[in-house]
Amino acid sequence: MTVRVRFAPSPTGMFHVGGARSALQNWIYAKQQGGVFVLRIEDTDAARNKPEWTEGILSALDWIGISRGSYEGPYFQSANAGEHRAAAARLHDSGRAYYCDCTREDVQARTGSQYQGYDGYHRDRGLGPGPGHALRFRTPDEGVTVVVDLIRGEPTFENKLIEDFVIARGDGSPVFLLANVVDDMTMGITHVIRAEEHLPNTPKQQLLWEALGVKPPIWAHVPVVVNEKRQKLSKRRDKVALEAYRDEGYLAGAMRNYLMLLGWAPSGDREIVPWSVIEDEFRLDEVNLSSAFFDEKKLRAFNGEYIRALPVAEFIDACQPWLTGSGTIAPPPWQPEEFDADAFAAVAALAQTRITVLSEIVPNVDFLFLASPLIDEAAWAKTMKDGSAELLDAAVAAFETLESWDAESLKSTLEAVGAERGLKLGKTQAPVRVAVTGRTVGLPLFESLEVLGRERTLTRMRAARLRLV
């Protein structure tokens, strides 16, 4: 039997990081088993679907390494609507489903509770199809439904506790439960790997598989992804869009690595490992049962490690969208023609050790490409105090006559200026840094001055001195 797994997102918004994890788990499992990964777009909610969301799914999968052309699909659920309706008709004709025109208020009036499920009122009343007549599955009165789950063992559900659930709406359109089952049958899906939030629906879907005469797939329900409050990650409340992390400057490799650790870990006391190791070692039956905490701080630290591991040339290439304004949410504060590739290359290795996401490159190097620095007023107020004017005058005078404009000479010269005033280098260089870069923190000062050049450095120091008058 050829293993066939599927990833079936809905194009109703940005691509959820939890969905990205499920896609990767399915992808790896298919590769390990020599099987097939199928992409199905569940697009039957026409009111919420947009073509750009579908493209967003494809682009996000491309980014994390599941590239177009390497999987089967994408298929679209809406194209299988005829099969969905045919399956509903077969279930009705075989007596496994019946029509019901009860409203929620009707059920509540009979049961006396808004929390009680449907009471089977129309099971044997022979109601036919018609406007407002929903089709309900006739759940067995006795016995149990056993779900074979690679992660959770064999969860068992008493059939008498499963209400006769709706499989087609009053207008005849099948609901998600039935459409999902029919699609999986049509596509020959053998394993369904998805989040545990779908587990309550699984006995219903398994009953549908059996009623339609097809052996159910093997299930694997991975732990739900939660935030720091142990609440399920929500699009309305949490930062969950994979595209947002991509656009902020997270590396695909770091994101892949981190997502695969949500509920699973490689062998040994390690977390940051090559993707080949993850592909080789990942096992569904080793996935934890407890909820998986999506820790953005930890992800950011992961990303910093991945950035620092890049060869400098690759780091320079990776930064280009933020430096040139292409493909990023916010353009840089300089014009394209102001960007100096050689100047950036000169400081790239220094910047690489100081950032954790690629978008941080802009405030670290903007002083190199602007006519004048962007002054952080809080930094100015904190640094430019009594004595700063005199210190800048002395530093300008010393720098003007400096024979060799290199980092070592600049450092020793400023150290001497400070020593004459009883100041250590840290105190001496603070006003110079703010005058030249606009900030109190950033790249190593003297290497920065070397790249900026004598003329631009002195111009900025003089401008700062005039502001202190």
Q: How far is 39 from 66, CA to CA, in rounded Å?
A: 10
Among the listed residues 235, 298, 382, 424, the single catalytic one is: 235
347 in Cβ contact with 448 (< 8 Å): yes
Residue 183 is encoded by which pair of tokens? 């699609």
389 in Cβ contact with 465 (< 8 Å): yes
Name the helix (H) or strand (E) containing 248. Answer: helix 242-248
**Whose structure tokens read 């969860």?**
155
371 in Cβ contact with 397 (< 8 Å): no
Q: How far is 125 from 196, CA to CA, in rounded Å?
A: 37
Q: How far is CA 225 from CA 296, 351, 354, in A?
A: 12, 33, 30
Q: How far is 450 from 138, CA to CA, in rounded Å?
A: 79
Tally of CB atoms within 10 A around 30: 23
Q: What is the DSSP letter of 371?
A: S
Tally of CB atoms within 10 A around 94: 12
Nearest to 179 by CA among 98, 77, 96: 77
38 in Cβ contact with 187 (< 8 Å): yes
Active site residue 235: yes
Q: Is the peptide bond before 74 cis (omega within 30 degrees of 0)?
A: yes
Q: How far is 402 from 151, CA to CA, in rounded Å?
A: 69
41 in Cβ contact with 15 (< 8 Å): no
Q: How far is 218 from 152, CA to CA, in rounded Å?
A: 12
Q: How far is 50 from 53, CA to CA, in rounded Å?
A: 5
Q: How far is 93 from 46, CA to CA, in rounded Å?
A: 29
Residue 406 amino acid letter:
D
Q: Strands (DSSP E) along 164-238, which ranges? A: 166-168, 191-195, 218-222, 225-226
Residue 456 is encoded by which pair of tokens? 């631009």
Catalytic positions, written as ranges: 235
